A and B are shown apart, each in its own frame.
Chain A
Amino acid sequence: NAGVTQTPKFRVLKTGQSMTLLCAQDMNHEYMYWYRQDPGMGLRLIHYSVGEGTTAKGEVPDGYNVSRLKKQNFLLGLESAAPSQTSVYFCASSRPQAGYTQYFGPGTRLTVL
Protein backbone atom coordinates (compact mmCIF):
# COMPACT_ATOMS: atom_id res chain seq x y z
CA ASN A 1 0.00 0.00 0.00
CA ALA A 2 1.22 3.48 -0.88
CA GLY A 3 -0.81 5.09 1.91
CA VAL A 4 -1.39 8.78 1.21
CA THR A 5 0.36 10.34 -1.77
CA GLN A 6 0.46 13.96 -2.91
CA THR A 7 1.21 15.49 -6.29
CA PRO A 8 3.27 17.60 -6.91
CA LYS A 9 5.97 17.71 -4.22
CA PHE A 10 7.13 21.22 -5.10
CA ARG A 11 5.61 24.06 -7.09
CA VAL A 12 6.39 27.71 -7.74
CA LEU A 13 3.57 29.96 -8.91
CA LYS A 14 3.28 33.59 -9.85
CA THR A 15 0.63 35.72 -8.19
CA GLY A 16 -2.71 35.19 -9.89
CA GLN A 17 -1.93 31.77 -11.35
CA SER A 18 -4.05 28.77 -10.54
CA MET A 19 -3.17 25.21 -9.67
CA THR A 20 -4.58 21.97 -8.28
CA LEU A 21 -2.97 19.74 -5.68
CA LEU A 22 -3.91 16.09 -5.81
CA CYS A 23 -4.18 13.80 -2.82
CA ALA A 24 -4.78 10.08 -3.18
CA GLN A 25 -5.20 7.36 -0.55
CA ASP A 26 -5.49 3.62 -1.00
CA MET A 27 -6.71 2.73 2.51
CA ASN A 28 -10.44 3.13 1.79
CA HIS A 29 -10.70 5.92 4.36
CA GLU A 30 -13.92 7.87 4.56
CA TYR A 31 -12.47 11.11 5.87
CA MET A 32 -9.91 13.29 4.13
CA TYR A 33 -8.34 16.64 5.06
CA TRP A 34 -6.22 19.42 3.65
CA TYR A 35 -3.94 21.36 6.00
CA ARG A 36 -1.39 24.11 5.62
CA GLN A 37 1.70 24.38 7.78
CA ASP A 38 3.51 27.68 8.15
CA PRO A 39 6.88 28.16 9.91
CA GLY A 40 6.61 27.92 13.68
CA MET A 41 2.96 26.99 13.55
CA GLY A 42 0.96 23.85 13.75
CA LEU A 43 -1.37 22.50 11.13
CA ARG A 44 -4.38 24.56 10.16
CA LEU A 45 -7.32 22.84 8.54
CA ILE A 46 -8.33 24.27 5.16
CA HIS A 47 -11.14 21.94 4.03
CA TYR A 48 -12.23 18.42 4.80
CA SER A 49 -14.50 15.70 3.46
CA VAL A 50 -16.50 13.00 5.19
CA GLY A 51 -17.17 11.04 2.04
CA GLU A 52 -17.36 10.97 -1.73
CA GLY A 53 -19.18 14.02 -3.07
CA THR A 54 -19.12 15.94 0.22
CA THR A 55 -16.80 18.72 1.38
CA ALA A 56 -16.80 21.26 4.18
CA LYS A 57 -14.84 24.33 5.26
CA GLY A 58 -12.19 24.16 7.91
CA GLU A 59 -10.42 26.87 9.85
CA VAL A 60 -8.80 28.76 6.93
CA PRO A 61 -10.81 28.06 3.74
CA ASP A 62 -10.58 31.44 2.00
CA GLY A 63 -8.82 31.33 -1.37
CA TYR A 64 -9.13 27.55 -1.70
CA ASN A 65 -11.65 25.14 -3.19
CA VAL A 66 -11.84 21.37 -2.97
CA SER A 67 -13.52 18.46 -4.64
CA ARG A 68 -13.95 14.80 -3.82
CA LEU A 69 -15.41 13.11 -6.85
CA LYS A 70 -13.94 9.74 -5.92
CA LYS A 71 -13.51 8.31 -2.44
CA GLN A 72 -9.78 7.86 -2.86
CA ASN A 73 -9.02 11.35 -4.19
CA PHE A 74 -9.24 14.80 -2.64
CA LEU A 75 -8.25 17.81 -4.75
CA LEU A 76 -7.25 21.23 -3.46
CA GLY A 77 -7.50 24.15 -5.86
CA LEU A 78 -6.08 27.64 -5.78
CA GLU A 79 -7.96 29.79 -8.29
CA SER A 80 -5.80 32.92 -8.01
CA ALA A 81 -2.66 32.33 -5.98
CA ALA A 82 -1.42 34.98 -3.55
CA PRO A 83 1.94 35.26 -1.73
CA SER A 84 0.09 34.60 1.55
CA GLN A 85 -0.60 31.10 0.27
CA THR A 86 3.10 30.23 0.29
CA SER A 87 3.17 27.26 2.63
CA VAL A 88 3.58 23.53 2.94
CA TYR A 89 0.33 21.69 2.26
CA PHE A 90 -0.47 18.33 3.80
CA CYS A 91 -3.22 15.94 2.98
CA ALA A 92 -4.43 13.36 5.48
CA SER A 93 -7.07 10.66 5.75
CA SER A 94 -8.70 8.76 8.58
CA ARG A 95 -11.56 6.47 9.47
CA PRO A 96 -13.53 5.94 12.68
CA GLN A 97 -12.74 2.23 12.81
CA ALA A 98 -9.05 3.08 13.19
CA GLY A 99 -9.61 5.42 16.13
CA TYR A 100 -9.50 8.47 13.89
CA THR A 101 -5.73 8.30 13.55
CA GLN A 102 -4.77 10.56 10.69
CA TYR A 103 -2.43 9.25 7.99
CA PHE A 104 -0.50 11.99 6.28
CA GLY A 105 0.98 12.51 2.85
CA PRO A 106 4.55 13.76 2.36
CA GLY A 107 3.49 17.35 1.72
CA THR A 108 3.65 19.85 -1.12
CA ARG A 109 5.88 22.90 -0.79
CA LEU A 110 4.23 25.79 -2.62
CA THR A 111 5.87 29.15 -3.23
CA VAL A 112 3.87 32.04 -4.66
CA LEU A 113 5.98 34.88 -6.01
Chain B
Amino acid sequence: AQTVTQSQPEMSVQEAETVTLSCTYDTSENNYYLFWYKQPPSRQMILVIRQEAYKQQNATENRFSVNFQKAAKSFSLKISDSQLGDTAMYFCAFMVSNTNAGKSTFGDGTTLTVKP
Protein backbone atom coordinates (compact mmCIF):
# COMPACT_ATOMS: atom_id res chain seq x y z
CA ALA B 1 0.00 0.00 0.00
CA GLN B 2 1.13 3.51 -0.74
CA THR B 3 1.55 6.09 2.00
CA VAL B 4 1.92 9.86 1.80
CA THR B 5 3.50 11.86 4.60
CA GLN B 6 3.31 15.59 5.11
CA SER B 7 5.54 16.33 8.08
CA GLN B 8 4.52 19.96 8.58
CA PRO B 9 1.00 20.25 10.05
CA GLU B 10 1.14 24.05 10.06
CA MET B 11 3.28 26.71 8.41
CA SER B 12 3.20 30.45 8.06
CA VAL B 13 4.88 32.89 5.70
CA GLN B 14 4.95 36.63 5.21
CA GLU B 15 3.23 38.02 2.18
CA ALA B 16 5.56 38.18 -0.87
CA GLU B 17 8.00 35.66 0.58
CA THR B 18 8.66 32.09 -0.55
CA VAL B 19 7.60 28.97 1.31
CA THR B 20 8.18 25.26 0.68
CA LEU B 21 5.83 22.51 1.76
CA SER B 22 7.21 19.01 2.15
CA CYS B 23 5.79 15.70 1.02
CA THR B 24 7.27 12.23 0.98
CA TYR B 25 5.68 9.03 -0.23
CA ASP B 26 6.35 5.35 -0.13
CA THR B 27 5.72 3.07 -3.09
CA SER B 28 7.21 0.19 -5.02
CA GLU B 29 5.56 1.35 -8.23
CA ASN B 30 7.48 3.03 -11.03
CA ASN B 31 4.68 4.78 -12.92
CA TYR B 32 2.54 7.18 -10.98
CA TYR B 33 1.22 10.70 -10.62
CA LEU B 34 1.74 13.17 -7.80
CA PHE B 35 -0.56 16.06 -7.02
CA TRP B 36 -0.81 19.07 -4.79
CA TYR B 37 -4.35 20.18 -3.97
CA LYS B 38 -5.40 23.38 -2.21
CA GLN B 39 -8.36 23.61 0.15
CA PRO B 40 -9.14 27.25 1.03
CA PRO B 41 -11.30 28.13 4.02
CA SER B 42 -14.33 28.01 1.69
CA ARG B 43 -13.63 24.27 1.56
CA GLN B 44 -13.77 23.41 -2.16
CA MET B 45 -10.57 21.62 -3.06
CA ILE B 46 -8.79 22.43 -6.30
CA LEU B 47 -5.71 21.17 -8.09
CA VAL B 48 -2.58 23.28 -7.74
CA ILE B 49 -0.08 21.25 -9.71
CA ARG B 50 0.49 17.74 -11.09
CA GLN B 51 3.66 15.76 -11.82
CA GLU B 52 4.01 12.56 -13.81
CA ALA B 53 6.74 10.33 -12.43
CA TYR B 54 8.27 9.53 -15.82
CA LYS B 55 8.93 13.22 -16.47
CA GLN B 56 12.26 14.40 -15.08
CA GLN B 57 11.42 18.07 -15.48
CA ASN B 58 9.76 19.62 -12.46
CA ALA B 59 6.25 20.94 -13.05
CA THR B 60 5.53 24.65 -12.69
CA GLU B 61 2.31 26.66 -12.68
CA ASN B 62 2.91 30.37 -12.37
CA ARG B 63 4.06 30.99 -8.76
CA PHE B 64 3.85 27.29 -7.87
CA SER B 65 6.59 24.81 -8.60
CA VAL B 66 7.63 21.40 -7.37
CA ASN B 67 10.90 19.73 -6.52
CA PHE B 68 10.39 16.11 -7.53
CA GLN B 69 13.11 13.75 -6.32
CA LYS B 70 12.06 10.29 -7.51
CA ALA B 71 14.89 8.36 -5.89
CA ALA B 72 14.27 10.05 -2.56
CA LYS B 73 10.47 9.75 -3.00
CA SER B 74 10.07 13.42 -2.26
CA PHE B 75 7.65 15.91 -3.81
CA SER B 76 7.84 19.38 -2.27
CA LEU B 77 5.76 22.41 -3.29
CA LYS B 78 7.33 25.85 -3.53
CA ILE B 79 5.11 28.91 -3.48
CA SER B 80 6.87 32.08 -4.60
CA ASP B 81 5.69 35.63 -3.92
CA SER B 82 3.09 34.36 -1.42
CA GLN B 83 -0.29 36.07 -1.49
CA LEU B 84 -3.02 36.30 1.12
CA GLY B 85 -5.20 34.14 -1.12
CA ASP B 86 -2.70 31.31 -0.77
CA THR B 87 -3.89 30.79 2.80
CA ALA B 88 -5.32 27.27 2.74
CA MET B 89 -4.74 23.67 3.63
CA TYR B 90 -2.53 21.93 1.08
CA PHE B 91 -2.74 18.22 0.43
CA CYS B 92 -0.17 16.08 -1.31
CA ALA B 93 -1.61 13.07 -3.17
CA PHE B 94 -0.23 10.01 -4.94
CA MET B 95 -1.81 7.84 -7.62
CA VAL B 96 -0.56 4.74 -9.40
CA SER B 97 -0.96 5.09 -13.15
CA ASN B 98 -3.53 3.18 -15.16
CA THR B 99 -4.42 0.37 -12.81
CA ASN B 100 -6.54 1.57 -9.94
CA ALA B 101 -9.47 3.64 -11.17
CA GLY B 102 -7.71 6.89 -10.48
CA LYS B 103 -7.74 6.35 -6.74
CA SER B 104 -5.44 8.71 -4.92
CA THR B 105 -3.83 8.44 -1.50
CA PHE B 106 -3.78 11.75 0.35
CA GLY B 107 -1.48 13.07 3.05
CA ASP B 108 -2.89 14.63 6.20
CA GLY B 109 -2.38 18.15 4.90
CA THR B 110 -0.38 21.27 5.77
CA THR B 111 -2.21 24.38 6.89
CA LEU B 112 -0.51 27.40 5.40
CA THR B 113 -1.17 30.91 6.68
CA VAL B 114 0.07 33.90 4.70
CA LYS B 115 0.51 36.91 6.96
CA PRO B 116 0.21 40.51 5.74
User: Which residues of A are interface residues toward B (Cβ below 8 A)?
Assistant: 31, 33, 40-43, 45, 48, 50, 56, 58, 88, 90, 92, 94-96, 99-102, 104-107
A-B contact pairs, 14 of them (CB 8 A): A33-B102, A40-B108, A41-B108, A45-B103, A48-B101, A56-B101, A101-B35, A101-B47, A101-B50, A102-B35, A104-B45, A106-B43, A106-B44, A107-B43
Distance in angstroms between the alpha carbons of A85 and B92 in the assembled complex = 24
**With A42-B109, A48-B103, A50-B101 known to touch, is A104 a contact of B46 (CB < 8 Å)?**
yes
Interface-centre pick from B47, B50, B98, B102 (highest chain A CB count, 10 A):
B102
Bound Cα distance A17, B109 (Å): 32
- Beyond A88-B43, A107-B44, whether A102 also contacts B108 by CB under 8 A is no
CA distance A21 to B102 in the complex (A): 22
Which residues on the A side are within 8 Å of B37 (C-beta)?
102, 104
Instruction: Tell me the nearest residue of chain A to B98, going by C-beta.
Output: A96
Q: Which residues of B contact A (CB under 8 A)?
A: 4, 9, 33, 35, 37, 42-47, 50, 52, 91, 93, 95, 98, 101-104, 106-109
Q: Are B50 and A104 in contact (CB under 8 A)?
A: no
Q: A99-B33, A101-B35, A104-B45 are in contact. Are A42 and B108 (CB under 8 A)?
A: yes
Q: Measured between alpha carbons, how far is A17 from B102 in the docked complex, in Å? A: 32
CB A100 to nearest CB in B, in angstroms, measures 4
Contact between chains at A104 and B44 (CB < 8 Å): yes
Query: With a CB–CB cut-off of 8 A, which chain A residues contact B101?
Result: 31, 48, 50, 56
Cα A41 to Cα B52 with chains together (Å): 25
Q: Would you call B47 and A90 a contact (CB within 8 A)?
A: no
